[in-house]
Amino acid sequence: MRWLSALLVAVLAVLAGTAHGQAPYPTQTVKIIVPFIAGSAPDVAARQVAERLAAGLGQTFIVDNKPGASGNIGAEVAVRAPADGYTLLLMTGSHVINPHLYAKIGYDPIKDFVPITVLTRLPSLMVVPPSSPAKTVAEFIALAKSKPGKLNYGSGGVASLAHLSGSAFRLAADIDYVHVPYKGAPDIVRGLLGEQIDVGFPTMPTAMRLAKDGVLRPLAVTSAKRSAVMPEVPTLLEAMPNGFSQDAWLALAAPAGTPQAIIDRLYAVLKEAAADPAFRAKLSADGSEVIFNTPAEFKAMLPGEVEKYRVLIQQLGIKLE
């Protein structure tokens, strides 16, 4: 009888192991790598998303901040993780820009990650000081052409989104103005308020309130369509003949090779969360547009984003170490 009892225990152990192997994902804590500091806009959004995923899937989702090198460090950590769904990456527009800036980079944004969804898009706001004679984009272009090399624009540093937006505007408008790189985005606003620069392209959270209060004059948004929080401000596509769109975005991705069933399960929960007005309101409070497109739509978007910045950065001749 002892051998029968031992056999029964062995069978039960096998059955338990099989059941565990077939348990629906996730069965343990899931880590979302955020390649920026705690408290940053990407970090705040990631924590909101982690909370909804945890509620929808009944498992703990934690944010793991891995800042540095414009998002490269976090992406390189994520790309080395097992493709089992327990490590995700908060991907940003930086990850399609950086491969064109750095000679050595440890990931390919298309080949090394499986897209899950684009969470939000965040436009920049083209703003001038209230003392500027330019009331519209067309008037600013005319002003710049009347004073070649005399006007300037500020950015948060070389290859920052504000720099790339300002440079793309220079090329599209065929004007000559000077780039003034600051140490960070808030300095753009200080430069405008002190009339040290003539125009800037800070992101919406940096300039939106000042523009609404009349402290800065908004001329255009850089998104493909008008912003819901400032619908009176035209897009650059509307405001100039060779207009363009360029914005920051946040997305969720997984290491290449992650099973499609896991990707679909994650997206299903996020799609349901995106239908919640309260959740959408939190994500859009800074002027972001809530997206939550399908994995296939995100995948189709990536090559265009990579190519857009490849062309722009090649035109500008920027290289970083």
The pLDDT score that the predictor gives to residue 184 is 84
Whether 228 and 153 share a structural domain = yes
Helix 204-212 and helix 186-193, axial crossing angle in degrees, nearest 10: 30
pLDDT digit string, tens, across residues 3-49: 333 333 333 333 333 344 457 899 999 999 999 999 988 999 999 99
Q: Is residue 134 part of a domain?
A: yes
Residues 205/275, Cβ–Cβ less than 8 Å:
no
Whether 149 and 216 share a structural domain = yes
Rounded distance, CA 120 to CA 284, Å?
Answer: 8
Q: Is residue 17 part of a domain?
A: no
| The domain boundary residue, chosen from 210, 239, 268 | 239
Cis-peptide, bond into residue 26, ω within 30° of zero: yes
Whether 211 and 130 share a structural domain = yes
- Tell the residue number behind the tokens 């338990």, with chain if given: 16
Q: Is residue 5 part of a domain?
A: no
Whether 273 and 220 share a structural domain = no
Domain coverage including residue 208: 125-239
Q: Annotate 144-195 with DSSP letters as a single string.
A: HHHSTTT-EEEESSTTSHHHHHHHHHHHHHT---EEEE-SSTHHHHHHHHTT
The pLDDT score that the predictor gives to residue 220 is 98
CATH of residue 182's domain is 3.40.190.10
Q: Name beta bridge partners: 64.
A: 33
CATH of residue 88's domain is 3.40.190.150
Rounded to two decimals, what is the model's pTM?
0.87
Q: Name beta bridge partners: 220.
A: 126
For residue 70, the 8-state DSSP code is G
Whether 271 and 202 share a structural domain = no
Q: Is residue 152 part of a domain?
A: yes
| The domain boundary residue, chosen from 239, 266, 294 | 239
Whether 110 and 251 share a structural domain = yes
Whether 291 and 194 share a structural domain = no
The CA-based diameter of the chain, rounded to the nearest angstrom, is 100
Token pair recorded at residue 203: 């992101």
SS3 68: coil
CA distances from 243 to 138, 146, 170, 220, 239 (A): 11, 20, 11, 11, 7
Rounded distance, CA 218 to CA 212, Å?
Answer: 9
Rounded distance, CA 36 to CA 307, Å?
Answer: 24
The pLDDT score that the predictor gives to residue 17 is 38
Q: Structural domain tally of the chain?
A: 2
pLDDT < 70 stretches in the chain: 1-22
Q: Is residue 6 part of a domain?
A: no
Whether 230 and 132 share a structural domain = yes
* Amino acid at the residue 119: L
The pLDDT score that the predictor gives to residue 22 is 57
Whether 140 and 235 share a structural domain = yes
Burial class (CB in 10 A: 0-12, 13-18, 19+), 67: middle
The alpha carbon dihedral of 172, 178, 182, 188 has a sign of negative
| The domain boundary residue, chosen from 205, 239, 273 | 239
Residue 70, Ramachandran bin (φ over 0: left; ψ between -120 and 50: alpha; else beta): left
SS3 41: helix
